[in-house]
Amino acid sequence: MILWILFALMTAMAILAVLWPLARGQAKHRSGSDLAVYRDQLAEIQRDRTAGQIGEAEAEAARIEVSRRLIGAADAASAAPAPLGSAIANWHRRVVAIIALVLLPLGAVGFYLKIGSPGLPGQPLSARAAEIQDHSIEHLVAQVEEHLAANPDDARGWEVIAPVYLRLGRYDDAVKARRNVLRLAGESAARQADLGEALVGAANGIVTVEAKAAFERAVALDPQDVKSRYFLGLAAEQDGRRDEAAATWRSMLATAPEGADWTGFVRGELARIEGGPGPADVAAASNMSPDQRTAMIRGMVQKLADQLHKDGSDLEGWLRLVRSYMVLGERDKALAAAGDARHALASDPEKLRRIDELVKGLGLEG
């Protein structure tokens, strides 16, 4: 209620500031201005006389003439009534001011109470923004779909809308769009990989035979295609070939460009299938005693060590193993792991440099 009162007062003040001139009377008549002029002339005559610029006779004659005019102007101002048109105009202005100040705000409030929803609680800004965004996306999708219905051979249009379908969870539409892009724009590793991704989405995350074929075709066109290599590793895991999946993802990490933003995700997937702690492990660890948690960590570290002794090409795995031993307070095992890593990676100077930097950083030297 207080907020309503404040709004009403603010509205009234704003209207008053705009319409105040309408409520005022007409400006003074010209005779009022004449009176002021004649008074100024009398004062000026006196100043000139005092300064010696005119004589006494000239000053007296000028005072008499100005005084006569001043008396005439004063009589005219008191005798002349305000014109009828001016009075009517003043009355009209007052009526308009009253309507604007009183009736318009009351009418607006009544109209809102009749058709509005004053009792409806406010909607959070985030919810309003999300709703606007969703409506905007739907509107844009509808526009593109209308365009494609009239121009079904527009490869660029299909390429634009395909990732939007994927984001909205419209996987079948995404598959259709990706097929049209391949048909109209030609084959490339990226387009084959995008088709495979849409097929995986349509199959609820399963890398189907058709999706795997698309990824294999993409790798044949570009052996370094990241998306296809990841999904081929996932296909191997889903087929029960976890070692093959791990080898695929370790190979991706080994050849990753410096600062690639996807390496963290692939490392997480690699840790998951190599025995790294998953959500269930973390939840279980929270209910363990300190000794039980330490035993669980030691088991995972030992599993990682066993994997590295089978395939020592995984630099990230060796780095993780050395750090893990240091966290457990097992300095000797950390040194031994660093030595094993140097032996396994002896043919790669860059990887050896990374191992040496870690050893130095952990203070294992000397």
Q: What is the pLDDT of residues 101-151, one digit of tens each?
A: 566 666 665 655 556 555 555 555 555 555 545 557 788 888 889 999 999
CATH number at residue 216: 1.25.40.10
Task: Identify whether 309 is part of a domain.
Answer: yes
Helix-then-strand count for the chain, H and E: 18, 0
Phi/psi at 262 (5° precision) = -95, -5
- What lies within 8 Å, CB to CB, of 137 at 6+ separation is 164, 168
Task: Output the pLDDT for position 26.
Answer: 47
Answer yes or no: do 263 and 313 share one domain.
no
CA distance to 144, 309, 314, 320, 360, per residue, from 341 (Å): 54, 9, 9, 11, 14
Task: Output the pLDDT for position 186.
Answer: 95
Segment 254-311, tens digit of pLDDT: 999 988 889 988 888 888 787 555 445 555 555 667 777 677 778 888 888 888 888 8
Identify each DSSP E strand in 230-321 by its residue range.
Answer: none
Domain count for the chain: 3
Task: Output the pLDDT for position 52.
Answer: 72
> How far apart are the two ends of the chain, measured CA to CA in Å?
77
Task: Identify whether 237 is part of a domain.
Answer: yes
The H-or-E segment that residue 213 falls in is helix 209-221
Q: Tell me which residue has tokens 């002794």.
A: 309
Task: Identify whether 127 is part of a domain.
Answer: no
Task: Output the pLDDT for position 132.
Answer: 47
Task: Output the pLDDT for position 229.
Answer: 96
Task: Identify whether 132 is part of a domain.
Answer: no
Tokens of 177: 């769009």
CA distance to 31, 67, 233, 347, 354, per residue, from 250 (Å): 101, 111, 10, 17, 16
Task: Output the pLDDT for position 272.
Answer: 78
Domain boundary among 225, 250, 273: 273
Query: What's the rounded Cα separation, in Å, for the pair 200 and 231?
Result: 9
Answer yes or no: do 259 and 302 share one domain.
no
CATH number at residue 340: 1.25.40
Answer yes or no: do 23 and 108 share one domain.
yes
Task: Output the pLDDT for position 319.
Answer: 86
Answer yes or no: do 288 and 239 share one domain.
no
Answer yes or no: do 255 and 154 share one domain.
yes
Q: Tell me which residue has tokens 């009075």.
A: 87
Q: Quick check: 276 and 261 in contact, CB under 8 A? A: no
Task: Output the pLDDT for position 222.
Answer: 97
Quick one: how far is CA 93 from the chain centroid?
A: 50
Answer yes or no: do 205 and 150 share one domain.
yes
Q: Tell me which residue has tokens 């923004």.
A: 129
Answer yes or no: do 250 and 146 share one domain.
yes
Answer yes or no: do 223 and 179 share one domain.
yes
Answer yes or no: do 204 and 295 share one domain.
no
Domain boundary among 249, 273, 297: 273
- Supply the range of the domain harboring residue 348: 279-361
Answer yes or no: do 212 and 299 share one domain.
no
Answer yes or no: do 72 and 174 share one domain.
no
Task: Identify whether 172 is part of a domain.
Answer: yes
Answer yes or no: do 147 and 269 share one domain.
yes
All residue ranges of the chain with pLDDT < 70 are 1-39, 57, 59, 61-62, 66-135, 275-288, 293, 366
